[in-house]
């Protein structure tokens, strides 16, 4: 009888020890999982910024050449491409600089998820702005037909804004979709990985 009570007491103590160990280890495990997730998130974002920067550099180079060698609306098309992508290059450069200086080890899981979802929100908002840019480009082309003094400028600028807005729309949607998918898959996997097996703990206590 005493042996049975001692056995139950030992199992209960072991179960308490196991639960305590889970309570101690799971937060650390969760933090490491979040850091690995955010490292992947930053790599994806940085790849996107390299693509944006590459597009910007190509447009600045071709824009400078076309501006100096072309006339009419084509001249203004290249001119706007150069102006527009000076901004794009600045955005890509700043984002890369900020991401490389970021210390993930100093961030807790809540900060990591907030930073990731903030990037998603920015990209999603940008898609609406890009639609507006495209609409503005078509408006400039429409106004070009009614203007005798600024026809070439409006048509050239309009064509450029349509092209740049279209590229950014596809770019932002693609990057948003990838980051959103990464977040959803991570949350599904991490919830399964760090959930303690309650039935096992109850069984240990009963035994």
**112-122 average pLDDT score:** 95
Smallest CA-to-CA distance from 141 within 82, 80, 61 is with 80
For 112, other C-beta atoms within 10 Å of its C-beta total 19
pLDDT at 12 over 60: no
Q: What mean pLDDT comes out for the span 62-91?
A: 97
Helices (H), the chain: 2-69, 72-101, 109-144, 151-194, 198-206
Provide the Cα torsion 30, 32, 38, 42; round to 10°: 180
Query: Is 106 part of a structural domain of the chain?
Result: yes
Residue 114 falls within a domain, yes or no? yes
In percent, the amount of the chain with pLDDT more than 90 equals: 65
Q: What is the mean pLDDT of the chain?
A: 84
pLDDT band at 146 (very low <50, low <70, confident <90, very high): confident
- Is 19 inside any structural domain? no
Share of the chain above pLDDT 70, in %: 76
Establish if 205 belongs to a structural domain: no
Question: Considering the domain boundaries, does residue 206 fall inside one?
Answer: no
Q: Do residues 43 and 125 lie in contact, with contact meaning Cβ atoms separated by under 8 Å?
A: no
pLDDT higher than threshold 80 for residue 121: yes
Q: Supply 45's token pair.
A: 């974002």
Flag whether pLDDT at 34 surpasses 60. Answer: yes
pLDDT in tens, 181-194: 999 999 888 765 55
Counted domains in the chain: 1
Domain membership of residue 75 as a residue range: 37-195
* Mean pLDDT in residue range 81-109: 94
**pTM of the prediction?**
0.78
pLDDT at residue 16 is higher than 60:
no
Asked whether residue 30 is domain-assigned, the answer is no
Digit-coded pLDDT (tens) for 149-186 = 899 999 999 999 999 999 999 999 999 999 999 999 99
- Quote the tokens at residue 168: 């950014």
Q: What is the mean pLDDT of residues 103-121?
A: 92
- Please check whether residue 11 lies inside any domain of the structure: no
């Amino acid at each position: 009888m005493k042996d049975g009570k001692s056995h139950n007491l030992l199992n209960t103590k072991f179960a308490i020890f196991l639960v305590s160990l889970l309570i101690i280890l799971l937060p650390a495990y969760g933090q490491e999982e979040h850091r690995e997730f955010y490292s992947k998130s930053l790599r994806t974002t940085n790849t996107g910024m390299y693509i944006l920067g590459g597009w910007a550099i190509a447009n600045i180079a071709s824009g400078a050449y076309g501006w100096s060698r072309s006339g009419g609306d084509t001249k203004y098309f290249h001119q706007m491409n150069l102006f527009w992508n000076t901004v794009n290059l600045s955005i890509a450069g700043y984002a890369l600089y900020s991401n490389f200086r970021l210390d993930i080890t100093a961030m807790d899981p809540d900060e990591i998820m907030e930073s990731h979802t903030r990037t998603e929100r920015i990209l999603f908002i940008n898609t609406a702005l890009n639609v507006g840019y495209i609409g503005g480009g078509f408006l400039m082309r429409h106004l070009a037909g009614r203007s005798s003094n600024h026809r070439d400028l409006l048509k050239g600028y309009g064509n450029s804004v349509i092209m740049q807005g279209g590229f950014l729309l596809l770019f932002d949607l693609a990057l948003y979709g990838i980051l959103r998918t990464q977040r959803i898959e991570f949350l599904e996997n991490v919830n399964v990985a760090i959930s303690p097996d309650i039935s096992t703990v109850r069984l240990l206590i009963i035994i």
